[in-house]
Chains A and B, each alone.
Chain A
Amino acid sequence: MKAENLLGVFEFFEIKPLEEEDEIKNYYEKRESPIKSLSKAILLSKKPAKFLFSGHRGSGKSTELNILSGKVKDKYFVVNFSVFDLLSIHDIKDIDLLLTIGSEIYKKAYDEGIKLDKKIVNDLSAWMEDVTKISIKEQKVSLGGEAALNWLLIKLGSEMQTGTTKKEELRGTIKQRLGDLMEKINSLIYEVENKLAKKEGKKILVIIDDLDKIDLDEAEELFYKHSNSLTLPACSIVYTIPISLVHSSKYTQVKLSFANSYVLPNIRLNKKDGGKDEAGREILRKVAGKRMDLNLISGEALEKAIDGCGGDMFQFIYIIRFASIEADNKNRSRIEKDDVSAILVNLRNDFDRILKKDDYPILKEIHKTKDAVDGERLLELFHSLSVLEYLNAERWCDIHPLIIPLLDK
């Protein structure tokens, strides 16, 4: 299924990762990705391993992680969650992540009807009640042991997202009882795996998405200062991390605590010497073709959209989606070059707004040399996608194509 008219373009170019197997089958276009290596590493690990996964915002990490889930699902009980849904993105600490990992494993096991040993459920309930001060007994509805714990964890989740004071108190308490927390989480992991062993012998894999959206400072705090805590759960975990952390001076140290780290490269549209990279451009053409009848966009408009996105999958989808509205507004039956241009102007204005005067000399230099040297400001430029990195074969950088006209300002 794909868009047969402009109205359909808006629908089929929905900006969200591909999740379901069917979606991936229909709309995913093969590209250079480390997911094959990552899935192999997970499948071959004899003991729980922790991996880091990064890429520019919008590069398609979430879709790749969903593909990863599919690749390992026969051997792994995959617990996949986004920190956006469960935590407050601007305030995430190691304790929050550990608690959420435990909660999500339990909730998924509960949802799938995995019956855990009563004494483990009771012990975990009593401990959680004690540390969270959320009383199961206060629940008017009478719940069984497993359901009551599930209720507690859901309530805890909402408190972790909103209540600042309570969250701080909870962190303080649990930080001092980290050993106990890990005993509980790991006992839960072992028990779930024991039950799974009877059926399919699966192990647990946790995939934490959207951690790449956190600020660099917060990411350094988590992955540099508290990397030790993040490796404590006795199951394999894939943590997403911001691309700026990959460029930070602390990254070498960060990597030491994890089994391996992988970066999803942007789709390369141009060569380092300025010539067009047809292979990369063809991927985006095919992506468009899988979602729409290509008669709905002129060749020029499509190339303009490809040029303007800089190889960022999210932006490519975004540009075509909203260009379809522009075209529709003009009562056109297909997207034309100026429809795409209108969207690109908006995106360029966004860059204009976030870039500082001092950034331009840095950007000019990068555009000229195709190389980005260290510097704190550079990390922010990576974070804002003003500078893009291409890791295919040879590593090189360039500024986002939409910024080029701004350089002469």
Chain B
Amino acid sequence: MVRYSSLDYSITGQIDRLNLVLRRAENGVIVLLECNSLPLREEVINRLKEELDENFKFLSINIDEKNKNLPGIVQDYSGSGRIDKKTVVFVHNIDDAMPEVIGYLNWGREVFLDLKVKIIILCPTFVADEIIKNAPDFYRFSHRITIKEKTQTRGEVIPSFISDVKYKDLNELNERINIQEHLLKKATEDYKIADLSFNLGRLYFKKNEYKNSLKFFNDCLKIYEKIGGKKQIAATYNEMGIIHYSQGNYSEALKWYKKSMEISEKIGNITILTTTYNNIGEVRRVQGNYSEALEWYNKSMEIKEKIGDTAGLVATYNNIGLIHNSQGNYPEALEWYNKGMEIMEKIGDTAGLAATYNNIGSIHDAQGNYTGALKWYNKSIEISDKLGMLHYSAMGYSNMGIACLENKDINSALNYFTKSRDLFRKLGLDKDADKAEKTISDLTTGNKT
């Protein structure tokens, strides 16, 4: 199985490897090309077509809801002579055939081997995950190549809290933590301890101190479970989901969001319900399941618009923008970001603006307007620094590094990646720090692809 770092700044390396795999696979090969971005998928296909010998032929198969039997379809194509040993088959829209296609793949895996076909199945992350879990026999025979698109590592999500913490700067945040801790020390009643612990959980999350945050949420959860308080339990479940989401533990996040959703549905709490809809959508989005993500966002948006929850809408608008961004619909993505920005400016949601500025930067970047991208990233970092949202700043520096790299400005890129690495390290986000470290090392040793 072939896997690559998600901080790879160029897709060239992956395409080279794919190229090699296809040339050498005399007896056919199954490649699972995991990539969430539609424009990036297109780029990979175009470059493969350019780089492979003239001897190769290319065929695209679009699976649809009517016929989900991919092995059967390939067999038919082969039978009619449209696929031979020189054909590279690209399979599109596998997500439309979920979940039935998984069963077909697992049971019909022999078809691909018997026909010695070179097949590249383009799939989003959630389909790849499903194949690993539920079509293990098929997966054993395939190569998995993961290409994480730029926007995925760069897009800043606005997670939906039940009622978000808004603050001007790090001093304010620290002072608020001080106050809540001071009150907690003196509190003797359970309901006060629970409420103050909940507040501390939210405040520490803003400082990216996830361990502390989780500890306080666990503390208040225990009390709420003892003294009763379904609404508070549902709210706490959601916040816990956000912590896991922020650490990249998506399945764990989903578990908490769903727990929160179940309770809020039962007790009819619309605010928490719309929040969890949005957050479940968010998990689906990062897993590349855009159609399901949109369904959740729309569910959330519909209710929020109906009840006039403008602050809540901001997060959903932003996240829908991210989907369009990933699909290469840049004007539409911008439209959604602007919708969100309008509200944020009105209500003084500076933290939201920092995220949106970053996302607009990534659109400029994707369109090759590196100067424009750097300008927006800078705007985002300025606010993030001021608010003490160092995680956002670290992401921003990483994005600036990528933009400089694409603009062939290696020295500036190195400078930004270093800043990003140091900040990630300071925040205890070692996975991200390691990725930045690897990029720096590749750049300094000239091991760049």
- A123 and B175 CA atoms in complex are apart in Å by 8
Q: Measured between C-beta atoms, what is the minimum distance from B235 to chain A in Å?
A: 10
Q: Does A126 lie within 8 Å of B311, measured CB to CB?
A: no
Q: Does B191 lie within 8 Å of A234, measured CB to CB?
A: yes
Q: Does B186 lie within 8 Å of A194, measured CB to CB?
A: yes
Q: Does B180 lie within 8 Å of A187, measured CB to CB?
A: yes
- A173 and B348 CA atoms in complex are apart in Å by 7
Q: Measured between C-beta atoms, what is the minimum distance from A125 to chain B in Å?
A: 12
Q: Does A187 lie within 8 Å of B347, measured CB to CB?
A: no
Contact of B182 among A117, A126, A176, A182 (CB under 8 A): A117
Given contacts A176-B311, A194-B183, contact A47 B191 (CB under 8 A): yes
Q: Does B161 lie within 8 Å of A234, measured CB to CB?
A: no
Residues from chain B with Cβ under 8 Å of A186 in the complex: 195
Contact of A119 among B163, B179, B187 (CB under 8 A): B179
Residues from chain A with Cβ under 8 Å of B167 in the complex: 180
Q: Which residue from chain B places its CB closest to the CB of A178 in the assembled complex?
A: B163
Bitwise, B337-367 to A at CB < 8 A (1) or not (0) is 0000000001111000000000000000000
Q: Measured between C-beta atoms, what is the minimum distance from B49 to chain A in Å?
A: 50
Residues from chain A with Cβ under 8 Å of B271 in the complex: 228
Q: Does B412 contact A (CB under 8 A)?
A: no
Contact of B347 among A117, A126, A172, A191 (CB under 8 A): A172
Q: Does B168 lie within 8 Å of A183, measured CB to CB?
A: no
- Chain B residues 396 to 444 lying within 8 A of chain A, measured CB to CB, are none
Contact of A190 among B165, B175, B187 (CB under 8 A): B187
Given contacts A179-B164, A180-B166, A234-B195, contact A119 B178 (CB under 8 A): yes
Q: Does B165 lie within 8 Å of A47, measured CB to CB?
A: no
Q: Measured between C-beta atoms, what is the minimum distance from B157 to chain A in Å?
A: 19
Q: Does A130 contact B (CB under 8 A)?
A: yes
Q: Does A16 contact B (CB under 8 A)?
A: no
Q: Which residue from chain A places its CB closest to the CB of B162 in the assembled complex?
A: A179
Given contacts A130-B168, A179-B163, A180-B165, contact A234 B180 (CB under 8 A): no
Chain A interface mostly: helix
Q: Which residue from chain A places its CB closest to the CB of B186 in the assembled complex?
A: A194
Q: Does A177 contact B (CB under 8 A)?
A: yes
Given contacts A175-B311, A177-B166, contact A119 B182 (CB under 8 A): yes
Count the A-B residue pairs with Cβ separation under 8 angstroms: how many?
70
Q: Does A157 contact B (CB under 8 A)?
A: no
Q: Does A134 contact B (CB under 8 A)?
A: no
Bitwise, B300-313 to A at CB < 8 A (1) or not (0) is 00000001001100
Q: Does B175 lie within 8 Å of A187, measured CB to CB?
A: no
Q: Does A48 contact B (CB under 8 A)?
A: yes
Q: Does A123 lie within 8 Å of B346, measured CB to CB?
A: no
Residues from chain A with Cβ under 8 Å of B348 in the complex: 173, 176
Q: Does B192 contact A (CB under 8 A)?
A: yes
Contact of A182 among B163, B190, B269, B310 (CB under 8 A): B163
Q: Does B189 contact A (CB under 8 A)?
A: yes
Q: Does B393 contact A (CB under 8 A)?
A: no
Q: Does B347 lie within 8 Å of A173, measured CB to CB?
A: yes
Contact of A123 among B179, B189, B227 (CB under 8 A): B179
Residues from chain A with Cβ under 8 Å of B347 in the complex: 172-173, 176-177
Q: Does B175 lie within 8 Å of A48, measured CB to CB?
A: no
Q: Does B197 contact A (CB under 8 A)?
A: no
Given contacts A47-B191, A178-B163, contact A126 B172 (CB under 8 A): yes
Q: Measured between C-beta atoms, what is the minimum distance from B391 to chain A in Å?
A: 20
The count of residues in chain A whose C-beta lies closer than 8 Å to any C-beta of chain B is 28
Q: Does A114 contact B (CB under 8 A)?
A: no
The count of residues in chain B whose C-beta lies closer than 8 Å to any C-beta of chain A is 36
- A173 and B343 CA atoms in complex are apart in Å by 11
Contact of B179 among A130, A175, A187 (CB under 8 A): A187
Q: Does B199 contact A (CB under 8 A)?
A: yes
Q: Which residue from chain A places its CB closest to the CB of B228 in the assembled complex?
A: A47
Q: Does A43 contact B (CB under 8 A)?
A: no
Q: Does A143 contact B (CB under 8 A)?
A: no
Q: Does B176 contact A (CB under 8 A)?
A: yes
Q: Does A407 contact B (CB under 8 A)?
A: no
Residues from chain B with Cβ under 8 Å of A117 in the complex: 179, 182
- Chain A residues 165 to 211 lying within 8 A of chain B, measured CB to CB, are 172-173, 175-180, 182-183, 186-187, 190-191, 194
Bitwise, B64-101 to A at CB < 8 A (1) or not (0) is 00000000000000000000000000000000000000
Q: Does B196 contact A (CB under 8 A)?
A: yes
Residues from chain A with Cβ under 8 Å of B191 in the complex: 47-48, 234
Residues from chain A with Cβ under 8 Å of B163 in the complex: 178-180, 182
Q: Measured between C-beta atoms, what is the minimum distance from B264 to chain A in Å?
A: 12
Q: Does A120 contact B (CB under 8 A)?
A: yes
- A263 and B195 CA atoms in complex are apart in Å by 32
Q: Does B179 lie within 8 Å of A120, measured CB to CB?
A: yes
Q: Which residue from chain B places its CB closest to the CB of A234 in the assembled complex?
A: B195
- A384 and B180 CA atoms in complex are apart in Å by 48
Contact of A228 among B190, B199, B269 (CB under 8 A): B269
Q: Does B176 lie within 8 Å of A191, measured CB to CB?
A: no
Contact of B183 among A122, A179, A182, A190 (CB under 8 A): A190
Q: Which residue from chain A places its CB closest to the CB of B307 in the assembled complex?
A: A225
Q: Does B176 lie within 8 Å of A179, measured CB to CB?
A: no
Residues from chain A with Cβ under 8 Å of B175 in the complex: 119, 122-123
Q: Does B189 lie within 8 Å of A179, measured CB to CB?
A: no
Q: Which residue from chain A places its CB closest to the CB of B199 in the assembled complex?
A: A183
Residues from chain A with Cβ under 8 Å of B269 in the complex: 228
- A180 and B175 CA atoms in complex are apart in Å by 13
Q: Measured between C-beta atoms, what is the minimum distance from A310 to chain B in Å?
A: 39
- A123 and B349 CA atoms in complex are apart in Å by 19
Interface pairs (26), CB distance under 8 Å: A47-B189, A47-B190, A47-B191, A48-B191, A119-B178, A120-B182, A122-B175, A123-B175, A123-B176, A126-B172, A172-B347, A176-B166, A176-B311, A176-B347, A177-B166, A177-B347, A179-B161, A179-B166, A180-B167, A182-B163, A183-B165, A187-B180, A190-B186, A190-B196, A228-B269, A228-B271
B residues with a Cβ closer than 8 A to A are: 161-168, 172, 175-176, 178-180, 182-183, 186-187, 189-192, 195-196, 199, 202, 227, 269, 271, 307, 310-311, 346-349
Instruction: A47-B191, A172-B347, A182-B163 are known; give 20 further A-B pairs, CB within 8 A.
Output: A46-B189, A47-B227, A117-B182, A120-B182, A123-B172, A123-B175, A123-B176, A175-B310, A176-B166, A176-B310, A176-B311, A179-B163, A183-B176, A187-B180, A187-B183, A190-B183, A191-B183, A194-B183, A225-B307, A228-B269
For the complex of A and B, 6 pairs with smallest distance between CB atoms: A179-B163, A176-B311, A176-B347, A47-B191, A190-B183, A194-B186
